Chains A and B, each alone.
Chain A
Amino acid sequence: MPTHTPSFPDLLFGDAARLRRWETLLMAHLDRAGYRELHPSLVMRNPANPSTVRFFDGDQLVALRWDFTEALARTLVRRFQDPPPRLSYAGPVFRRPTNFWDPVERFEVGCENIQTDRDQRLEADRELAGLLMAVPALLGLEGCLLHIGHAALLRRPLEAEQVPAELALELARVLDRRAIHRAADLLAGHPAKDRLLAHAEILLSGPNGAGSLDDLARGPYGALLEAEAGQLRRVLERLSAHLPPGLTLRLDMGDLRGLSFYTGPTLRLWAPGAQRELAAGGRYDGLFPEMGRPWYAAGFCVRLTTLLELGDAKEDA
């Protein structure tokens, strides 16, 4: 498509200085918590995803790094017998966005917490949420919202009802758009249609705090999701007790983005006026087992490009 959109933006003096300052602030924040930096190569091999920026290196198809989490995972399984527990990263990723006017080259700072024992997972999730909650104050942002979701709230009912994988992904896609009417069309003729739609109504009822967990318990999959609901309730209670001033915590059971990747609690940080989330992350316990390692992992990344866009609207925080 012919376009003059800055897919690969040049950052001039102000933006370049802001980017450097935010990277330094956030990496120091992660360093203080024991996260050590890894810098995977900018070039990745075996790019299957068509949204990547691909090119030939000789006769081999490669791509610019499209995702730090996957790049780090490839490095770790290749280079480490036991995983380093805490990692951080900073730099650009290149991925074609849904909105064609959004940049392809995006700057991120993030971290990853890897566990070898499943019992360590809850504490790791809490640690990551605590680190993320401190980010708005570090960047001088006020009025931010931290949304907590859980990928299993949709995944487990779909598995229990034996919804085919392709249909499950399409359902997650339309429900992520809050388009429950489209979910009804997709489920036409499915024996569990009424149950799944009643459940989707509960998930999409809006980010309204722990009250919606009671609705979930009364819903068609209340018993199935008892453990996840309990986990979310405990996470919300714990985080509410340590909430920094100026940050609002919300349960958003309708956060279904990345259903094929996330397996547990998800985090999204929103700033007023931002068109994309400022930070996103969660638990993805399926990643390392797919690469042959029995490790559990969770992490988040701060999207500095979103911050730069916010900076266009208001002066540097």
Chain B
Amino acid sequence: MTKPLLIALPKGRLEEELLPRLRGSAFELDPKALKSRRLRIPMADPQLSAILLKGADLPRYVAGGVAALGVVGSDILDETPVDLMELGDLDFGVCRMCLCAPDGTTLDQLLAKPHLRIATKFLMGTGRWLAQEGVTAELVPLQSSVELAPVLGLADAIVDLVQSGRTLQAHHLGVVTVLGRASARLVACRGTYLSEPDRIGPLARALAGLLKAAPAAAQG
């Protein structure tokens, strides 16, 4: 008998957009288990179950072969140097990765600073952008409420994900430049994907098709 497959799904920002897309499919999560405190949730197909994880932990579970497939933001993937397969851009949870500073600040003004300080939780992505632009800056690592850093003088600017821009507005910050785009990605464990292609391949294609479809269509 084949071992049931685990699929790692993200908690938080992507979760709200993801779960409605699974409804009515083999991947639908058991509603009772979902309301409980259980972190391992059965799916409609008894051969599948999901684990709900914080985005930062999710690539480790997939790359380590605990979960065969997963859904995670590309912003997280770009910060996590692990060996896994990235099978598709799911085109939801789309955000811009932006350099932001107090309203009215320009990029030239920031670059003219003798000691530019940028607060972010995206250290690798910001470092790559700085290298590409040939800019030297001090990176201030923060895990949350990054918008406070320029307001309270901890940093001159921040690099963060911007979806609607309302949080920036509330802190009188504006987008100075866009570093890139982030969205949900379907990932797979390299070993499982390549050593069990007949089992994982069709499942990955079905999940990608479902998640890329508009939520209304997915609900049928």
Q: What residues of chain A have their CB less than 8 Å away from a CB belonging to chain B?
A: 97-101, 145, 147, 174, 177-179, 181-182, 206-207, 250, 252, 268, 270-277
Q: Which residue of A lies closest to B65 (CB)?
A: A275
A273 near B195 (CB under 8 angstroms)?
yes
Min CB–CB distance B88 → chain A (angstroms): 7
Stretch at the interface among B77-85, B103-111, B118-126: B77-85
B83 near A179 (CB under 8 angstroms)?
no
Give a binary string over B85-122; 1 marks a CB under 8 Å from any A CB, 0 the rest.
11111000000000000000000000000000000000
A145 near B195 (CB under 8 angstroms)?
yes
Q: What residues of chain B have their CB less than 8 Å away from a CB belonging to chain A?
A: 63-65, 81-89, 185, 188-192, 194-197, 201
B195 near A270 (CB under 8 angstroms)?
yes
Q: 19 new A-B pairs (CB below 8 Å) besides A145-B197, A275-B65?
A: A97-B83, A98-B83, A99-B64, A100-B81, A178-B87, A179-B185, A182-B86, A206-B197, A207-B197, A270-B191, A272-B196, A273-B195, A274-B191, A275-B64, A275-B189, A275-B191, A275-B192, A276-B191, A277-B194
A206 near B82 (CB under 8 angstroms)?
no
B201 near A206 (CB under 8 angstroms)?
yes
Query: 6 interchain pairs (CB within 8 A)?
Result: A145-B197, A177-B85, A177-B86, A178-B86, A179-B87, A274-B191
Q: Which residue of B lies closest to A250 (CB)?
A: B197
A99 near B82 (CB under 8 angstroms)?
yes
Min CB–CB distance A28 → chain B (angstroms): 27
CA gap between A19 and B88 in the complex, in Å: 39
Contacts of A277 in B (CB 8 A): 191, 194
Contacts of B83 in A (CB 8 A): 97-99
Contacts of B196 in A (CB 8 A): 272
Contacts of A145 in B (CB 8 A): 194-195, 197
Min CB–CB distance B203 → chain A (angstroms): 13
A272 near B195 (CB under 8 angstroms)?
yes
A270 near B194 (CB under 8 angstroms)?
yes
Min CB–CB distance A99 → chain B (angstroms): 5
CA gap between A270 and B189 in the complex, in Å: 13
CA gap between A97 and B64 in the complex, in Å: 13
Contacts of B63 in A (CB 8 A): 99
Contacts of A250 in B (CB 8 A): 197
A101 near B64 (CB under 8 angstroms)?
yes
Min CB–CB distance B172 → chain A (angstroms): 32
Min CB–CB distance B81 → chain A (angstroms): 6
Q: Which residue of B lies closest to A144 (CB)?
A: B195
Contacts of B191 in A (CB 8 A): 270, 273-277
A98 near B195 (CB under 8 angstroms)?
no
CA gap between A101 and B81 in the complex, in Å: 11
Q: Which residue of B lies closest to A306 (CB)?
A: B191
Min CB–CB distance A291 → chain B (angstroms): 29
B64 near A98 (CB under 8 angstroms)?
no
CA gap between A152 and B219 in the complex, in Å: 44
Contact of B82 among A98, A179, A252, A268 (CB under 8 A): A98
A147 near B190 (CB under 8 angstroms)?
no
Contacts of B81 in A (CB 8 A): 98, 100
Min CB–CB distance A101 → chain B (angstroms): 7
CA gap between A305 and B66 in the complex, in Å: 19
Closest 7 CB pairs of A and B: A275-B191, A270-B195, A179-B86, A181-B89, A98-B83, A275-B65, A177-B86
Contacts of A177 in B (CB 8 A): 84-86
Q: Which residue of B lies closest to A276 (CB)?
A: B191
Q: Which residue of A lies closest to B187 (CB)?
A: A177
Contacts of B185 in A (CB 8 A): 179
Contacts of B188 in A (CB 8 A): 178
CA gap between A270 and B194 in the complex, in Å: 7
Min CB–CB distance A255 → chain B (angstroms): 9
Contacts of B89 in A (CB 8 A): 181
Contacts of A174 in B (CB 8 A): 86
Min CB–CB distance B208 → chain A (angstroms): 11
Q: Which residue of B lies closest to A182 (CB)?
A: B86
Q: Which of A98, A100, A177 has the most CB of B within 10 A?
A: A177
Min CB–CB distance B130 → chain A (angstroms): 18
CA gap between A234 and B214 in the complex, in Å: 45
CA gap between A178 and B83 in the complex, in Å: 12
Contact of B195 among A100, A178, A181, A274 (CB under 8 A): A274
Q: Which residue of B lies closest to A178 (CB)?
A: B85
CA gap between A212 and B158 in the complex, in Å: 47
Contact (A147, B194) CB under 8 Å given A181-B89, A275-B189: yes
CA gap between A145 and B199 in the complex, in Å: 13
Q: Which residue of A lies closest to B193 (CB)?
A: A178
Contacts of A276 in B (CB 8 A): 190-191
Contacts of B84 in A (CB 8 A): 177
CA gap between A273 and B193 in the complex, in Å: 10
